[in-house]
Chain A
Amino acid sequence: SQQGEEDPQALSIQEGENATMNCSYKTSINNLQWYRQNSGRGLVHLILIRSNEREKHSGRLRVTLDTSKKSSSLLITASRAADTASYFCATGETSGSRLTFGEGTQLTVNP
């Protein structure tokens, strides 16, 4: 079963707009990671945020983490058609390296 739930399940926007995806989880975590997947291919790691961090940036990506609400958000600014993909959040356990994935958000960026 999945730990996380992602919202929305699907998002369609125009190029240049910002895209925000949310992730909620249920148990205590050590870290939360976001991955991108293009058309059923492998997962590409985007960003990792530790449980003691609240916000992290990487290029056009901004991730926030609220451990009190057990939620995270991924913001992609100035989106491009190439950002079209499925985005997954994954929580890392307090011990070990097992990742528990959310259900994913399918993002479509229209040119």
Chain B
Amino acid sequence: KAGVTQTPRYLIKTRGQQVTLSCSPISGHRSVSWYQQTPGQGLQFLFEYFSETQRNKGNFPGRFSGRQFSNSRSEMNVSTLELGDSALYLCASSLVGQKQETQYFGPGTRLLVL
């Protein structure tokens, strides 16, 4: 079974631009979560999607948004990029997102904002 895939793997943007990242979960998984990893803040939860609905949201500004499609693929969008948005963005998938399920992470998208 193929693992979680994320595209693109690397991205360079400038302040004020917007960016869209994509995540394809493991086949059959319906829950997709997004995390941001930075040296200063570590790994922080952004949001979770299940059955095309945002089910849980972390403490990030409204510039960060996401969506999920009927095939469970998910995208996250960051508008009006700031330097501090430079990070590794990780998505994780699980079957239905229940509390004791293992979450499987993708390789991440490294975003650099100049």
Whole-angstrom CA separation of A42 from B105 in the bound complex: 6
**Contact between chains at B110 and A97 (CB < 8 Å):** no
Binding site for A on B (CB under 8 A): 4, 31, 33, 35, 37, 41-45, 48, 55-56, 58, 88, 90, 92, 94, 97-108, 110
**Contact between chains at B42 and A97 (CB < 8 Å):** no
Flag whether A87 is at the interface (Cβ < 8 A).
Answer: no
CB B14 to nearest CB in A, in angstroms, measures 22
Residue of A nearest to B31 (CB): A97
Question: Which residues from A are CB-within-8-Å of B48?
Answer: 96-98
**Contact between chains at B108 and A41 (CB < 8 Å):** yes
Question: Which residues from A are CB-within-8-Å of B108?
Answer: 40-42
Whole-angstrom CA separation of A48 from B33 in the bound complex: 18
Question: Which residues from A are CB-within-8-Å of B106?
Answer: 42
Question: Which residues from B are CB-within-8-Å of A31?
Answer: 99-100
Whole-angstrom CA separation of A48 from B102 in the bound complex: 7
Question: Which residues from B are CB-within-8-Å of A103?
Answer: 42
Q: Which of A30-52 contact B (CB under 8 A)?
A: 30-31, 33, 35, 40-45, 48, 50
Whole-angstrom CA separation of A101 from B100 in the bound complex: 15
Q: Which of A79-111 contact B (CB under 8 A)?
A: 88, 90, 92-104
Whole-angstrom CA separation of A48 from B92 in the bound complex: 15
Whole-angstrom CA separation of A42 from B4 in the bound complex: 10
Question: Which of A30, A90, A98 neighbours the largest number of chain B CB atoms within 10 Å of its CB?
Answer: A98
Flag whether A68 is at the interface (Cβ < 8 A).
Answer: no
